[in-house]
Amino acid sequence: MSTPVEETLVLVKPDGVARNLTGEILRRIEAKGYQLVDIRLVEADLDLLSQHYAEHQGKPFYEPLLEFMQSGPIVAIRVAGQRVIEGFRSLAGTTDPTTAAPGTIRGDLGRDWGLKVQQNLVHGSDSPESAARELALWFA
């Protein structure tokens, strides 16, 4: 039995775009062997972001998170491959960039900037259900 190809949504968040790390992040995705299927530069509005982050509504970091995600352009990427959803989460590293493992995107390239929200360079869908929902939002 073969492993089916799946798709995930990767976002290079405004901090990653502003720091000119989009190429480095794409390089890591391609070097891992995943396929770039579609890519676009997006200025996300409140409507898109509140749908994207619906699960976090009411949490203390929710408002700063939406503000941060509106602070500049985002690169949205549709990425395909076998087990790419968990594979990209592994490439990204854990949420807090200060302690994310070296070798990961967040661990190698991210840090705490003393701001109200973790600016951690990338987003990756966390399940097949999230991936389908988020890809429909960002690639409508």
Beta strands in the chain (DSSP E): 5-12, 35-42, 74-82, 122-124
Q: Map residues 71-110 to x or -, x wherever contact with ligand RTP holds by CB under 6 A.
A: ------------------------x---------------
Confirm if 78 and 39 have CB atoms less than 8 A apart. yes
Number of residues interacting with ligand RTP: please give it, by CB under 6 A: 10
Site for ligand RTP contains 65 (CB under 6 A): yes
Residue 113 as a binder of ligand RTP (CB under 6 A): the answer is no
Instruction: At 36, give phi and psi (nearest 5°).
Output: -85, 120
Minimum CB distance to ligand RTP, residue 89 (Å): 7
Interatomic CA distance for residues 69 and 51, integer angstroms: 13
Give me the residues that bind ligand RTP (CB under 6 A), please.
56, 61, 65, 95, 117-118, 120, 123-124, 126
